[in-house]
Amino acid sequence: MSQDLESQLRAALRPIAPSASFEKKLIASVTNDPQHSQPKPDRRGGAGWHSRTRWLSVAAAACLLIGVGLQGRMQLRRERENGLEARRQVVEALRVTSQKLDLAYEIVKSQSSSFADDNPGA
C-alpha cells in the first residue's frame, strides 16, 4: 500500500447510489405522503379537518365558559334575593319588637301614674 489510509478510506467510502427501483419507490412515497398534503388549504375555501376540529374545540370551550358565567350569575342573584329576604325579616322583627316595647312602656307608665295618684305622699 503506497497511499495513506485516509485517502484510501475516502475512496472506499464514496456515496453509493441506491437502486433505480428504490429511487422510484422513495420519490413516490415522499411526494404522495398524505401527512404533507394535510396542511394545504381547502381549495373550496372551507376549513380543513384540522381547522374544523380546532373551531369545534374553541366553540366547546366558549360554551363551557358561558355556562360557568351564567351559573355564577344565577348563584349571585339567588344570594342577593336571600339577603333581601333576610333583611326584610329583620326589619319586620325589629318593628314587632318596637311595638311590644312601646306597649310595655305604656303599661308601665300607666301603672306608675295610678300608683302616684293612690299615694300622694309617697
Q: Is 50 helix (H, G, I), strand (E, B) or coil?
A: helix
Stretch near another protein under the rule CB under 8 A, chosen from 37-45, 68-76, 82-90, 94-102: 37-45
Q: Contact between 40 and another protein (CB under 8 A)?
A: yes
**Eight-class DSSP state of 19:** P
Site string for another protein, 50-89 (x = CB under 8 A): ----------------------------------------
**What are the backbone dihedrals phi and psi of residue 12, each rounded to the nearest 5 degrees, phi first?**
-70, -30
Quote the cell numbers at residue 22: 428504490
Check if the beta carbon of residue 64 is closer than 8 Å to that of residue 56: no
Q: Contact between 3 and another protein (CB under 8 A)?
A: yes
- Least distance (Å) from another protein to the CB of residue 19? 7
Lookup result for grid cell 333583611: 87
**Eight-class DSSP state of 120:** T
Site residues, another protein (CB under 8 A): 1-19, 22-23, 25-27, 29-31, 33, 35-37, 39-40
